[in-house]
Amino acid sequence: MLSRRSSLVALCVWLALAQGCRHQNESLSDLTLAHEVSPHPPRVGPVTITLRLTDTAGRHVDGARVTLEANMSHAGMAPVFADAPETEPGRYQSSMELTMAGDWFIMVHVNLADGRKLDRQFEIKGVGEKLAADFHR
């Protein structure tokens, strides 16, 4: 059985390692991910999400593989998955079908060309119902 001192040392080591892991993720905070959602205001149906990935010097980060996962704020609802291919250097665009009105959370999974991974999340609040005109298209 470990002595109390050994347990405390083990805990400190574990915490340090955990901090180290978090620092690795935090080192990716030097990248900026900007997003645009169209149409605005967003409505049920297809939306276009445009992402721009830049570093601290403002240079485009290209060659990444970007996938999106959209979830509602209520558990048990159908998530939506989509790829966001690069359309211009550092610009990634995706078309997703938002299936329900309400608040959506978009999780962005980025696999950079150098093998690092980046995860970000943003909200699309207040997605409205389809307009009557949309039903007649």
Partner 1 sequence: MPLVGNLLNWRHARTLLQIPLFVISVAMVLHGLFGPTLAPKNLATTLTWVHFRGALVFVLLFAGNFFCLACPFMFVRNLARKFFRPTRNWPRQLRNKWLSIALLVAMLFLYEWLDLWASPWWTAVLIIAYFAGALLIDAVFKHATFCKFICPIGQFNFVASTVSPLEVAVRDHDVCTRCATKDCIRGVREPAAPLVVIQRGCELALFQPRKVGNVDCTFCLDCVQACPHDNVGIISRLPASELMNDVMRSGVGFLSRRKDLAALAVVFAFGALLNVFGMVSPVYALEQFLATRFGVRSELPVLAFVFAFVLVCEPLLLIGVAAWITRVWSGSKRPLISLAVRYSYSLAPLGFGIWLAHFGFHFLTGFYTFIPVTQAAVADLGWAILGQPRWGLLGFAPNVVQLLEFGFITLGLIGSLLVSYSIAATEEVVHSERAFIPWAVLSLLIAVAAFWLMLQPMEMRGVVLGSG
Residues that bind partner 1 in the complex, under the rule CB under 8 A = 44, 69, 71-79, 81, 100-103, 105, 107, 121, 125-126, 129
Q: Which is nearer to partner 1, 42 or 90 (CB)?
A: 42
- Partners of 61 in the beta sheet? none
Residues 6+ apart with CB under 8 A from 107: 68, 69, 70, 71, 119, 120, 121
| Local structure of 81: helix, strand or coil | strand
Nearest-approach distance from CB 24 to partner 1, in angstroms: 16
Q: Which is nearer to partner 1, 57 or 133 (CB)?
A: 133
Nearest-approach distance from CB 130 to partner 1, in angstroms: 9
Q: Which of 110, 64, 60 lies closest to 86, judged by CA?
A: 64
Nearest-approach distance from CB 135 to partner 1, in angstroms: 12
